[in-house]
Amino acid sequence: MAKQQKTAWFCNNCGTESPKWVGRCPGCGEWNTMIEEKLPAGGSKSKSATFDPSRKSVPKPISQVETVSETRIHMPSEELNRVLGGGLVAGSIVLIGGEPGIGKSTLVLQNILSIRGKRILYVSGEESTSQLKMRADRIGRLSDNCYIVCDTSLENILGHAESLNPEIMVVDSIQTIASDSIESSAGSVSQVRECAAQLLRFAKSTGTPVLLIGHINKEGSIAGPKVLEHIVDAVLQFEGDRHYMYRILRSIKNRFGSTSELGIYEMVQRGLREVTNPSELLVSQSGEGVLSGTAIGVTLEGVRPFLIETQALVSTAAYGTPQRSVTGFDAKRMNMLLAVLEKRVGFKLAQKDVFLNIAGGLKVNDPALDLSVICAILSSNVDMAIARDVCMSGEVGLTGEIRPITRIEQRILEAEKLGFSNIIVPRHNLKGFDTSKLKIQITEVAKVEEAFRALFA
């Protein structure tokens, strides 16, 4: 009699194995994440080594370990190099995730088509060769060094890599690749884990950097088990609103660089264009006259400062119940700032509609934008415009004080570089910073009332 096919249950979030279904994963504690998958003929799940087993290692003191400088491949995009920490490290495996249609494949394709003198293997499991050729024609870059193959079998892909011996390998996407040693469908927990482990073994043994493109789920995190993010060396998140032109590349995990860097791109007809100075695009340059309800704030994304325009509209509630509408900012934090304005400063906004918008379609979580938010709201409330050459940065507390913020030197230098003549900052936030050589005027305030008097006196 033929043996019955054995199955096991695996967590879709962390990959924990269980012999039976359980409502809550014993590994990560998430509910309703267990899915049933078939086991290989051996009765146990195939587990590939993430290192070369033929290499024998012996324990040695850490003081005797030799440090070797990392060999990096300089990518054509400076924004991508910044996020990677200086370039693509040889033998590394990088995972790039993002929403459908956000531009992941375009970002990778236009970079590898601009690399000269290196053999590149582009494996596509979703698009045909003609579709990739159309995208390359739209980008306007063609290269004889880039080889394209459409395949979803892991064994065939590794065979192509062995025969071609590429110097860079791209897999688009990891959720479409399946191994013949596992009977489950592509994209399952076991397939994603097995394929990622095999590709990692290939990258480490040959020194070939591998770029993986991954899908995300409805919660916004990268699809597949969490072990996928543990296997790779770097995880990059490509995000942005498809209705706006800007895209942000963030580093969630990076074993070879900082996770506080980010790159900014603009989606144009010929692909993605690097935004070297986002402040000039995010701040309105219209010269038709200054209107009330706008304030320029200096914010930080990672370690990169830029100026952004905060827009507010305050009007009398026409339907009795006042509305609170926020775009690009935390709604709960705006309600807190409105309560501070009413309780500590004395502005009656309880019966008025308040609409807040962060220009450019970006989502900002920096507390230093609090001061520009309340100034924009007050400017619209009293219908008095703020001068266009004035910017501000500061966190607002519940008692109405302006609290110190981080990296104040970078914010001031960025405002001076863009030609602003005055910046409002928290008091006692400039200790140890020499301001004698600066051309921009610095106004220090300790309370919300002092900021209002500096703007509207």
pLDDT, tens digit (0-9, with 9 covering 90-100), for 170-192: 999 898 999 988 877 888 888 88
My answer on whether 313 and 441 are in the same domain is: yes
Is residue 48 domain-resident? no
Pair 300, 383 in one domain: yes
Q: Are residues 111 and 260 in the same domain?
A: yes
Residues 299 and 239 in one domain: no
What is the predicted pLDDT for the residue at 32?
85
What's the domain count of the chain?
A: 3
CATH of the domain at 108: 3.40.50.300
pLDDT reading at 49 higher than 50: no
Amino acid identity at 91: G
What is the pLDDT at residue 51?
A: 45
Q: What is the CATH number of the domain that holds 333?
A: 3.30.230.10
Angstrom distance (rounded) from CA 311 to CA 294? 5
Q: Are residues 125 and 21 in the same domain?
A: no
Structure tokens at 301: 């994304």
- What is the extent of the structural domain holding 26? 7-38
Chosen domain end from 227, 243, 276: 276
Are 112 and 214 contained in the same domain? yes
Going by the annotation, the residues of the binding site for ATP are 98-105
Q: Where are the beta strands (DSSP E) in 257-394?
A: 262-268, 271-274, 294-301, 304-316, 324-327, 352-358, 390-392
Query: Is residue 328 domain-shared with residue 267, that is, in the same domain?
Result: no
Q: Are residues 133 and 27 in the same domain?
A: no
Name beta bridge partners: 323.
Answer: none
Annotated binding site: 98-105
Q: Are residues 366 and 268 in the same domain?
A: no
**Cβ distance 144 to 104 under 8 Å?**
no
Q: Among 219, 243, 276, which residue terminates a domain?
A: 276
Average pLDDT in the 399-404 region?
A: 94
- What are φ and ψ of residue 41, in 5° steps? -60, -25
Look at residue 50 and tell me whether its pLDDT is greater than 50: no
Verify that 17 and 166 share a domain, yes or no: no
Name the more confident of 406 and 277: 406
Task: Tell me which of 69 and 86 has the higher pLDDT.
Answer: 86
Residue 55: inside a domain:
no
Residue 371 in contact with residue 451, Cβ under 8 Å?
A: yes
- Picking from 75, 72, 103, the residue whose alpha carbon sits closest to that of residue 89 is 72
Domain final residue, candidates 276, 298, 331: 276
Instruction: Kindly tell me if the per-residue pLDDT of 411 is higher than 80.
Output: yes
Is residue 66 in some structural domain?
A: no
DSSP letters, 393-453, are: --EE-TTSBEE--S-HHHHHHHHHHTT-SEEEEETT--TT---TT--SEEEEESBHHHHHH
Domain shared by 191 and 290, yes or no: no
First to last CA, the chain: 92
pLDDT cut 70: percent of the chain above it: 91
The residue with greater pLDDT, 10 or 61, is: 61
Arithmetic mean of pLDDT, 114-119: 90
State the pLDDT at residue 280: 72
Tokens of 299: 């914010």
Mean pLDDT of 131-140: 90
In one-letter notation, the amino acid at residue 193 is R
- Residue 213 phi/psi, 5° resolution? -105, 130
Residues 259 and 308 in one domain: no
Q: What is the pLDDT of residue 3?
A: 56
